Amino acid sequence: MNLQTDYLRTFIALAETRGFTRAGRQVNRSQSAVSMQIKRLEDEIGKKLFERIGKTVKLTAEGNILIKHAMRIIKEHDDAVRALSKPDLEGFVRFGSPEHYTIGVLPKLLARFAAAYPDVVVEMRCENSDEIKADIERGELDVGICTQISDGGQVISHDPVVWVADPGFVMQRHQTVSIAVFEEGCIFRTWALEALEKSGISYRIVYVSRSISGLIDSVRAGLAVAPIIRSNAPADLKIVGLENGLPVLPVSNIVLHKTKKVASEIIECFSEHIIQSFGEKAQALP
């Protein structure tokens, strides 16, 4: 059995996007090429890896077994290539991200990139997604990750937005729910308010913060519930939803944008590190 890395990359992309067209965009291949590579991988293994559900696909039991190994194989392969390629890049890259993506994955990403490329300086800027996208289009940033709010960019990961609450939270019928939200301009705030209004749930904003730490502190204090991405939900808080009377929130599609004004090896290398790090994060989620 020979598991080719190209096929495994395509397999991972299809598992993440659940669609042949979206997977093709992620690995820069046509829909038919994605289908062909998955077929060859299945022939090599002798087992079906995906089940079709309408226009989407989901992993079979065998696919779920392979995905963990595939992620590890690709990571080890890429780490080996980087270790043997004698990093000689130098310069700087201007990078932007909303604050809710800077917790957890980005510190590790920046540390690993700095260790691999000590002569490259990463200038980081935290702004809302629409501002980051505009900065990239103006050439003020080289690379950015955003919550998908329009067309363009490369979807690199998905993270559901959830309500977090104090463990003792109980929502009474017809209760006005107290919520903590980001400042105006944050898409998570918009999604939360629209979902509550659509569900006919009365609410009041009791806490507004620029930072996710402020939201989490307000929830820990029992002041409110707050909408954050699932990967940022602390273990000491509970995720609440329909069973607690709160509406389901959208999934945050995390999109990578790169400047079209300047092409450089540094930008491409840093972008590859971002994609890899968010792939590892997705694998670690329950």
CA proximity to 254, closest of 229, 233, 235, 234: 229
Q: What is the pLDDT of residue 172?
A: 75
CATH class of 5-84: mainly alpha
Question: Is the Cβ–Cβ distance between 257 and 151 less than 8 Å?
Answer: no
Average pLDDT in the 85-94 region?
77
Q: Please, what is the end-to-end C-alpha distance for the chain in angstroms?
A: 29
Span 42-65, pLDDT tens digits: 999 999 999 988 888 999 999 999
* Amino acid at site 219: V
Whether residue 117 is predicted with pLDDT greater than 90 in this model: the reply is no
Whether residue 37 is predicted with pLDDT greater than 60 in this model: the reply is yes
**What mean pLDDT is reported for the chain?**
87
Question: Is the Cβ–Cβ distance between 75 and 280 less than 8 Å?
Answer: yes
Question: Rounded to an integer, what distance in angstroms lies between the CA atom of residue 282 and that of residue 67?
Answer: 11
Whether residue 276 is predicted with pLDDT greater than 70 in this model: the reply is yes
Question: Is the Cβ–Cβ distance between 281 and 229 less than 8 Å?
Answer: no
Domain with CATH 1.10.10.10 in the chain: 5-84
Q: What is the pLDDT of residue 281?
A: 61
User: What count of Cα atoms within 13 Å lies in the side-chain half-sphere of residue 24?
Assistant: 12
Question: Rounded to an integer, what distance in angstroms lies between the CA atom of residue 178 and that of residue 237?
Answer: 16
| Backbone region of residue 104 per phi and psi (left: phi > 0; alpha: psi in -120 to 50; beta: other values) | left
Model confidence at 208, pLDDT cuts 50, 70, 90, reads very high
* Amino acid at site 36: M
Pairing of strands 154-165, 251-258: antiparallel
Q: What is the pLDDT of residue 28?
A: 82
Model confidence at 29, pLDDT cuts 50, 70, 90, reads confident
Model confidence at 244, pLDDT cuts 50, 70, 90, reads confident
The rounded Cα 111 to chain-centroid distance in angstroms is 19
Of residues 152 and 238, more confidently modeled: 238
Average pLDDT in the 75-86 region?
74
CA proximity to 153, closest of 247, 255, 68: 255
CA proximity to 226, closest of 182, 184, 262: 182
Q: Which run of H or of E encompasses 68? A: helix 61-84
Fold of 159-252: D-Maltodextrin-Binding Protein; domain 2 (3.40.190)
- In the chain, the percentage of residues whose pLDDT exceeds 70 is 95
Fold of 91-152+254-284: D-Maltodextrin-Binding Protein; domain 2 (3.40.190)
Span 180-203, pLDDT tens digits: 999 888 889 999 999 999 999 999
Q: Counting Cβ atoms within 10 Å, is residue 12 exposed (0-12), middle (13-18) or buried (19+)?
A: buried
Domain with CATH 3.40.190.10 in the chain: 91-152+254-284, 159-252
Whether residue 86 is predicted with pLDDT greater than 60 in this model: the reply is no
Of residues 98 and 262, more confidently modeled: 98
